[in-house]
Amino acid sequence: MQKTGLVLSLVTLVLPLAPPRAHGADADAQRYWPQWRGPAMTGVAPHARPPIEWSETKNVRWKVAIPGKGSATPVVWGDRLYVLTAVPGEKRAPAVAAPPPEPPAAGGRPRLSTPPDASQKFTVLALRRSDGKVLWERVVREELPHEGTHPTGTWASASAATDGEMVFAHFGSRGLYALDTNGKVLWEKDLGDMTIKLAFGEGSSPALDRDRLFVQWDHEGDSFIVALDRKTGRELWRQKRDEKTSWATPLVVEHAGRTQVVASATGKVRSYDGATGDIVWETTGMTQNAIPTPVHSDGLVILASGFRGNALFAVKLAEAKGDISASPAVAWRLDRDTPYVPSPLLYGDELYFLKGNNGLLSCFNAKTGERIYGPERLEGVPNVYASPVGADGRIYVAGREGQTAVLQRGPVFKVLATNTLDDGFDASPVAVDSELYLRGAKYLYRISE
């Protein structure tokens, strides 16, 4: 969710053409889950071997209640697992007027945001992987949020990032914090207050690339993208963006010796030079409420969104320069069955994605845009915000009602198991070693044999 509020932050992707982007030893960065969507931001855990089957009485190594509310996907390094949450404080909020309703949904029900009714303690937790013990809990700020969230959203929807030396906790309008692995705050950065469309809540996660953090700040006010120094939080460059609210996390990719930062949004998709912030290329944008983050494989960037329309297309980086809207640099397009909240999974040359927020899975050839199968229904997993994850030749899709479908990777749609737990999952699964971590509305689970 991000994920990740319906606008969650569930939000992205890249295949490891170059060494892992997270700062730190390559082997460790590949083994662990350092940021949103994993070691290469593809959703793939290249060395993990998690179980296929589990239940409340099978293959649950531990189950820990997480205080407060958050849909941020955990990150993992070494023996630590880091989770972000927002815990209600004792200070009560005055009545807050709700924003005008969005046009009615199917059935005539208006979509309203949920205003804050209490202060929130914006909290970072470190847990030990072996037994789930909370090693430390750090409240980095406590205050009343200035806006609400979507009823299914949270005030802690953006995922953290880590390089094994530092942990970066992004609470959007409540600040970006760098902590050491013992929970000491090393620096903090206040980027202002966002004004989110219909007060549906924030959710874009920071992207970590070696010694830089990139933050996409798209809202109804003055939007921008910014590069920060990892060690100090010092601003390296900032570029204004003519964009309204989006929840996408930027994709960092290296091509032909240049680092590019690709930002998806409704107005335009833009790629920035990672060193200077200059625009490398741009093209027409996505649908409204852009959430999924771009994917990269073998010189091809793939973008998707799916609210009030469908958009999915692939950009050839070798040919992308300037305005490429009508250029052969756009390799292929798709205009149906694309995801709204869940980000795609890129597993080798296979691109897996869901239709809207539904348990309808498609598989495409990432290079050619050829449909391999789908949309195919995942029986028992009707509603999905979490992004699918790939590990050990399998696909894991976690649903909002507590079911997780496990499928065989490959050209044939084959469900291996559908597993149910007593929780609901908006955060995306995390696979490390022989373990699968599932962060639910109430609990954090370690699944392992």
pLDDT at 29 exceeding the cut of 90: no
> Structural domain boundaries of the chain?
26-100+113-447
Identify the three-state secondary structure at position 196: coil
Q: Which CATH number fits domain 26-100+113-447: 3.40.50.720, 3.30.360.10, 2.130.10.10, 2.40.10.480?
A: 2.130.10.10
**Predicted pLDDT at 9:** 36
Q: Are 104 and 175 in contact, with CB atoms under 8 Å apart?
A: no
**Predicted pLDDT at 104:** 52
- Banded model confidence at residue 3, pLDDT cuts 50, 70, 90: very low
pLDDT at 316 exceeding the cut of 50: yes
- Give the C-alpha distances (Å, rounded to integers) separating 25 from 15, 35, 199: 18, 15, 40
Task: Compute the mean pLDDT over every residue in the chain, rounded to the nearest whole number.
Answer: 92
Q: Please state, as a whole number, how many other Cβ atoms lie within 10 Å of the Cβ of residue 376.
A: 16
Q: What is the pLDDT of residues 59-71, one digit of tens each?
A: 999 999 999 999 9
Q: Are 310 and 303 in contact, with CB atoms under 8 Å apart?
A: no
- Banded model confidence at residue 297, pLDDT cuts 50, 70, 90: confident
**Predicted pLDDT at 102:** 52
Q: Which residue, 306, 296, 393, is CA-closest to 357?
A: 306
Q: How far apart are CA 433 and CA 275, in angstroms?
A: 34
Q: How far apart are CA 129 and CA 136, in angstroms?
A: 13
Q: Are 21 and 38 in contact, with CB atoms under 8 Å apart?
A: no
Sheet with 403-408: list strands edge to edge: 44-45, 389-391, 394-398, 403-408, 415-420
- pTM reported for the whole predicted model: 0.92
Q: Are 156 and 122 in contact, with CB atoms under 8 Å apart?
A: yes
Q: Are 218 and 171 in contact, with CB atoms under 8 Å apart?
A: no
Q: What is the pLDDT of residues 375-429, one digit of tens each?
A: 999 999 999 999 999 999 999 999 999 999 999 999 999 999 999 999 999 999 9
pLDDT at 27 exceeding the cut of 90: no
Q: What angle do CA 428, 102, 359 make, to 5 degrees?
A: 30
CA of residue 416 relative to chain centroid, distance: 25
Q: Which residue, 255, 286, 289, is CA-closest to 272?
A: 255
- Banded model confidence at residue 81, pLDDT cuts 50, 70, 90: very high
Instruction: Supply the DSSP string of 236-279, one letter for each residue.
Output: EEEEEE------PPPEEEEETTEEEEEE--SSEEEEEETTT--E
